[in-house]
Amino acid sequence: MRIGELSKRTGVSPRSLRYYEEQGLLASSRSEAGQRHYSDAQVQRVALIRRLFDAGMSSRVIATVLPCVDIPDDLEVAEETYAAMRRERDRIDADIAHLVETRDALDVLLKANSRHRAALSAEPVSA
């Protein structure tokens, strides 16, 4: 199928599909006219790539993880993929911890603002 059909079947723009290919995440064959052609299996691959992007992974990390799908019986690939996923999970944990700290700081500011607004509304208005 051509890029337009893959785009239609996956809901991913042709521009994104070209990007995936540039990053080594997706492969196509080329016609004599240079048009990209994809196999039906690429529909599932694009769905997987989208799920990984939606999980917050970068194309670099996804490129590290995909060989585990492509070569499932290779222990070295499985070990490398595990290490990459572990690093990604640790990065996400650090991001979550930072977001919690930021939320807690914002809670302090909200409480202070609430007290300030309450004090302002309690003051008599002079004419």
Counting Cβ atoms within 10 Å, is residue 79 exposed (0-12), middle (13-18) or buried (19+)?
Answer: exposed
How high is the pLDDT of residue 126?
A: 66
How high is the pLDDT of residue 55?
A: 86
How high is the pLDDT of residue 56?
A: 86
| Mean pLDDT of successive 10-residue stretches along the chain, which has 127 residues | 96 97 94 92 96 91 90 92 92 95 98 94 74
